[in-house]
Structure 1
């Protein structure tokens, strides 16, 4: 059957979403804005959940969870109606500013940064970088504290690589010391720069009112279509904003379809560093919200466990497309094509949570959406990465399937995916959230 997602529209939608989301906080803001525009209302964790059926979301730092109970209510399923959950993550590997960042070396002003996650470090060299993030300031909020976001798209920083004349062996194997070689330059002078003063200008408060920050670098080059027929998208943070964007689009379509269950979208922060935080996949965020949805609908804890027993979770993270220059690094019978459709991810050692039940749910969703499905398995002699899938499966006891969309240059400062894949990705996730009755 034909799905309602147009390839050109979704490719541009992904580009717009990524460029407006240099940090997990901004990604949640972008997701929240799209949900609000479609009629979802924000709730606070510190207040009682709505008892009437509706579409809502909440934000916890760089994480977001959204749901729609109207279809399950209309079907008369009661508070033990199962959930269909699409999960993704909002964070990407990058360089994050330290608490005391101002350095002066050889007349150059630089910023101290810490490596977040597992980036391809060489991809951050000689690239124009901006700054964005969350700043905590004195205010009238809870505890006398407020948070403010900023997004500076100016070309502020550059991690300058050593000239080939001063290290003739760089092309034979570049070695970067994270402490010594990755500090970005951002000016000249005889005194260190004033990062706190810079933040003061960005968020509009006196420097003395700044209490802390979560600030990170980002490439300022905009995302764009690429290729002779414009069949590709080159962008930063596709891992995993491409899934976050597709998940939002899928939930909005599922809200229109009103499935006879409760569709849920959860976007976690901190996946790239293990997910162990108050808002990561190892936190109570997902199970606590699911339980509160059951209780607010008049159900009991017994109803909650009944609902989990009929729940299926789809854990979305990007997948490795077969690299033409390194085809030997891929499993021969599991070649993955860009613009070839969503990718089922399987690992016998459960680095991915997929089993045959989860595979069946995702395969049926792709069939319902009318999109092709590919299957990825890592070479047996290579280590396998992991996702939020095994964690959410263990925390909820729900059947879980891991999937993704294909791309090249994963964890580079700039990645590459197909322009047709965002629409197929959103279509498959929409069908997963709203399976045919």
Structure 2
């Protein structure tokens, strides 16, 4: 990474985030990066004993919204450590409801529900597109997942004019006043040739779904506006009747870009947490870029990008699931390059041995000091933009960081100087009179018993539809993560705890 300047790294991130309006798209973007770097796709349902070999690079997905990638050192043996980085692919968004067909006062509207803890007032008066996963029936009768990304403004949530409500604090009801408008009823009626008093049901959307055929649910064109379904089908090049269901979210169509007088800022949606997802993926890729990178490696290098962090992670594809434990269990017993090297070693405790010597970096964005609200920050812990990743610490274990981890990360940052300059680091704690967020770090640390540290690049406006990060911090994080993977096997044994 030392040969790529900060602006190029930031531009690469912009391409990544602009192509990734949903977790499904983020995973697809990560897959493209990994495949280009020579990583091979594998499946959870298959046996890995003959597929995953020392020196190999692999990735797998779960639900299409979580991805795990790893590279196996050529000197790997069962029970050896795994160096890990965990991040998440989801961000607070508005999600289209299962029955979204609404209209009011002559407007076509779309029903949405809130996902995560967004700053919802920032979603008003923005040009919104839709993207997500669509389940489509193919010609042979099977059902497949397809991704759709309608990257143009079709929705908008209008604010009320100040002349009609001069409230000092902008407040609204999330259930009744957060519905976007998508068009005019009159225009839709003109398009379909129906009158205002005609039956609004689609010709094939009675309660049987298809005429004469009993269906458990109403047809999709009755649950959603027919034109919305047609739009999705058109984007996918399929017949509307073959669109069976979908998981769609709204996103800001304004592209992520560099900003500031000297392009020192990134103005973007979903910095939390696609910034860390991108940096973790590129850190892994860069750490194995050299053909000999894994020749003397005795560990496995792993990145896990989970879905559903913003809503607690307690799902099949969230960090608080069996995803990572199950994968580590399978990796911990992989045989070495030469079966003879294993001898008659007892692998019954390989999983526990691996966890006891492994380390996880929980990579989730951190708070930069906001100059307009400096009083909200602890005076001695005010992270700054472009000053490097922030180590997050909390005495009440909202973060998993402890002193041995801080020492290790300092050594990792110093080692990065061998490939260029030392990576700068910062420290953060919240004020005693302030609430503190959390990450996947504590839950994974508790589930695995592995040593863990929380960190992330500093940003402003976290959970807004439009956030601000530092241009140079992208490169700082990628170099730190690459150094972590390259040097963990050597550094870890030198830090004694128990």
- TM-score computed with the length of structure 1 as normaliser: 0.95
**Any residues of structure 2 matched to 1:47-66 within 5 Å, and which?**
47-49=46-48, 50-53=51-54, 54-60=56-62, 61-66=64-69
Q: 2:349 aligns with which of 283, 288, 302?
A: 302
| Structure 2 residue aligned with 1:433 | 485
Secondary structure, counterpart of 2:125 in structure 1 = coil
1:231 aligns with 2:264: yes
Distance 1:301 1:5 in 2: 45
Match of 2:369 in 1: 322
Please say if 1:336 is aligned against 2:383: yes
Residue 187 in structure 1 maps to residue 183 in structure 2: yes
Q: Report the counterpart of residue 261 of structure 1 in structure 2.
A: 299
On the 8 A contact 2:259/2:265 being kept in 1, the answer is yes
CA contact 1:86–1:433 (8 Å) conserved in 2: no
With 216-225 and 363-372 compared, the bigger mean Cα shift is at: 363-372
**Judging changes above 3 Å, is the alpha-carbon distance between structure 1 residues 399 and 226 closer, same or farther for their aligned structure 2 residues?**
same
Which whole-Å CA distance do the structure 1 matches of 2:175 and 2:356 have between them? 48
Match of 1:197 in 2: 230
Give CA deviations for 1:63-113 in whole Å, capped at 9, x if unaligned: 0000000x2x2xx34122200000000000010001111111001001100
> How far apart, CA to CA, are the structure 2 residues paired with 1:51 and 1:57?
10
Query: What is residue 14 of structure 2 aligned with on the other side?
Result: 15
Whole-Å separation in 2 of the counterparts to 1:391 and 1:423: 28
Which 4+ residue blocks in structure 1 deviate beyond 6 angstroms? none
Alignment match, 1:123 = 122
Q: Provide Cα deviations, 1:295-328, integer angstroms capped at 9, x if missing partner.
A: 3437834111111110000000000000000000
Tell me the equivalent position of 2:204: none
Question: Given the alignment of the two structures, is residue 352 of structure 1 paired with residue 399 of structure 2, yes or no?
Answer: yes
Measure the CA separation in 1 of the matches of 2:300 and 2:286: 13
Aligned to 1:152: 150
User: Which residue is equivalent to 2:318?
Assistant: 280
Cα RMSD between the aligned structures?
A: 1.7
Distance 1:361 1:316, change over 3 A: same
Residue 51 to residue 11, structure 1, CA distance change in 2 (3 Å): closer
Mapped to 1, the partners of 2:52 and 2:383 lie a distance apart of 45
Equivalent-residue separation in structure 1 for 2:41 and 2:367 (angstroms): 35
**Unmatched 5+ stretches in structure 2:** 190-199, 201-224, 337-345, 417-421, 491-498
Shift of 1:9: 1.3
| 1:68 to 2:71 alignment | yes
Over 3 Å counting, the alpha-carbon distance change for 1:102 and 1:301 in structure 2 is farther
Structure 1 gaps, min length 5: none
1:34-53, Cα deviation, whole Å (9 max, x unpaired)? 10011000001111112422
Paired residues in the alignment total 429
1:384 to 433, 436, 445: 436
Distance 1:150 1:133 in 2: 6
Taking the aligned partners of 1:339 and 1:228, their CA distance within structure 2 comes to 14
- 1:401-420 to 2 correspondences below 5 Å: 401-420=453-472
Aligned to 2:217: none
| Bigger radius of gyration | 2
Distance 1:82 1:242 in 2: 26
Partner Cα separation in structure 1 for residue 139 and residue 30 of structure 2: 26
2:253 aligns with 220
Spell out the pairing of 1:71-150 with structure 2 (5 A cutoff): 71=73, 73=74, 76-139=75-138, 144-150=142-148
